[in-house]
Amino acid sequence: MNVIVIESMIVLGVLAGVALWCALVYWDRRFSVSFHHLVVLTITVGIICRIAFALFTPTFYAPDERPHFRYITYLHEQRSFPVQTSKTDAPTQDWEYYQPPLYYLVSVPVYELAHGVFHSSDDGAVRAIRLLSVALWCISVVMALRILDALQVDDIFLRSVTISLVCLLPTSIFMSSVINNDNLLVALGSIILYRIVKTGSRRGSFWIGTLIGLALWVKLTAVIYIVAIVALCMVQWLYKSRSFSSAITYSVSTVAIAGVIWSPWAVRNLRLYGDWSGEQLVNIPVQWPSIFRAVATTLSYMIASFWSVSGLGNNVGFLPFVGMGLTLLALIGFAYGAFSRSKLFCDFFIGGKRDLWMAFLIAVAADILLVVRFGLLYGQGQGRFLFPLLIPISVLMAMGFKSLGLTGRFPKAHLHATGFLGLYALSFTAFSLGLFTLVQR
């Protein structure tokens, strides 16, 4: 019976995805589908998949969801910040207590509303907080559209693939519909990226520093935005669009503002744990048999978990070779475009927005290195740790795909790209929810 349910769910998801793809092609022949239509479609599919996960994923059947929920419950009951005393995977399920508290503080009113007004059980409160995650994701979509406009990315293929990845990337669909502090970080981060793009790093260091400081109160991986702003200032200095003194002043002032805002939590960590981050307190080091095994395992896990995993500990993988293949194609296309100095790459890396794209490229490379480092140390190099930079990553991947000549061979390549990602997302959602029925039984 369980097998029949799972197979039926998979078939339903595939049929829905194929129908979506075919409908796109049909509508375009009759009405000429615009980018606006694609945005509405991808957001609609993204919301449907996320709400399905939020409502039907078994309670606490998502990475670290029970520890995150326990943190929220602690704040509600104790009205004070918890103290970390256990390691990852401890039976007490409290290994997220060392995390900065902003996400959990934001979630407490939703928890109290679910319990107080609707008299929900913990199951109901979990689903209410999951819907908060979906709302936070909506902020990222709005910011992604604004960033594309501010960066003057006018090519319909680049715009369509970027928004499709932001809306329909399978792992992102799952993670942005469960309880996890990454969701507030990604939402705040999208605003930070927009402010960086909009100001061009020539003004507004106070606001950018303030936003980064708040992001650090969500999760310390927000440090990647500091890398982005410092990289931008240094690139502008190297290309002589900013003086050295101006670059240093802007970088230092932005970092200082962020540091001042975050410093109370850093002082607390040092006082309680003797460690400003708490990373070593909680995470358990991994002993690898060889460095080759360590790097190979970490990279493959990072790519697979970036694309299509769900479940309690990323234990549900959906066609990981698809994500591996797409990553390889994007890298090959990006390298080809860079070395051939194609018009696309000249427009991006030599044109008027050159400084920003160089800075984003540096930030993405740094983020990958940080994820690999975490994977080598603790075996947890999860692809979702790249989601704070998902918007620029999506544009860069779209550039790689376009450099392969897809738009030249297929004039409607943007429609097929959206259709394919829609099929991928719907199939992934149906497959995951089908397997989750085994947990509920």
Inform me whether the pLDDT recorded for 320 exceeds 80. yes
Listed in sequence order, the residues at least 6 apart from 232 whose beta carbon sits closer than 8 Å to its beta carbon are 196, 201, 355, 356, 359
The model's confidence at residue 121, banded by pLDDT at 50, 70 and 90, is confident
CA distance 91 to 150: 48
Backbone angles phi, psi at 317, to 5 degrees: -105, 140
Q: Is the dihedral of CA 213, 144, 320, 135 positive or negative?
A: positive
Whether the model pTM is above 0.85: yes
Inform me whether the pLDDT recorded for 412 exceeds 90. no
Query: 423-432: per-residue pLDDT in tens?
Result: 999 999 999 9
The model's confidence at residue 369, banded by pLDDT at 50, 70 and 90, is very high
Q: How large is the average pLDDT for residues 27-36?
A: 88
Inform me whether the pLDDT recorded for 75 exceeds 90. yes
- Structure confidence at residue 222 (pLDDT): 96
Inform me whether the pLDDT recorded for 202 exceeds 60. no
Inform me whether the pLDDT recorded for 403 exceeds 80. yes
Q: How large is the average pLDDT for residues 308-335?
A: 92
CA distance 356 to 266: 30
**Least confident window among 115-119, 200-204, 240-244, 349-353:** 200-204
Listed in sequence order, the residues at least 6 apart from 407 whose beta carbon sits closer than 8 Å to its beta carbon are 157, 413, 414
Tally of CB atoms within 10 A around 91: 6
Inform me whether the pLDDT recorded for 4 exceeds 80. no
**DSSP letters of 161-203?**
HHHHHHHH-HHHHHHTTSS-THHHHHHHHHHHHHHHHHHTTSS
The model's confidence at residue 159, banded by pLDDT at 50, 70 and 90, is very high
- Structure confidence at residue 32 (pLDDT): 85
Tally of CB atoms within 10 A around 344: 18
Listed in sequence order, the residues at least 6 apart from 404 whose beta carbon sits closer than 8 Å to its beta carbon are 329, 332, 333, 336
Percent of the chain predicted with pLDDT > 70: 97
Q: How large is the average pLDDT for residues 363-371?
A: 96
What are the residues facing 310 on neighbouring strands? Answer: 316
The model's confidence at residue 108, banded by pLDDT at 50, 70 and 90, is very high
**Least confident window among 51-65, 67-81, 116-130, 383-397:** 116-130
Q: Are 380 and 282 in contact (CB under 8 A)?
A: no
- Structure confidence at residue 440 (pLDDT): 59
CA distance 60 to 106: 19
The model's confidence at residue 97, banded by pLDDT at 50, 70 and 90, is very high
The model's confidence at residue 5, banded by pLDDT at 50, 70 and 90, is confident
- Structure confidence at residue 223 (pLDDT): 96
72: nearest Cα among 90, 48, 96 = 96
Q: How large is the average pLDDT for residues 184-200?
A: 92
Question: pLDDT averaged over the chain?
Answer: 91
The model's confidence at residue 1, banded by pLDDT at 50, 70 and 90, is low
- Structure confidence at residue 203 (pLDDT): 62
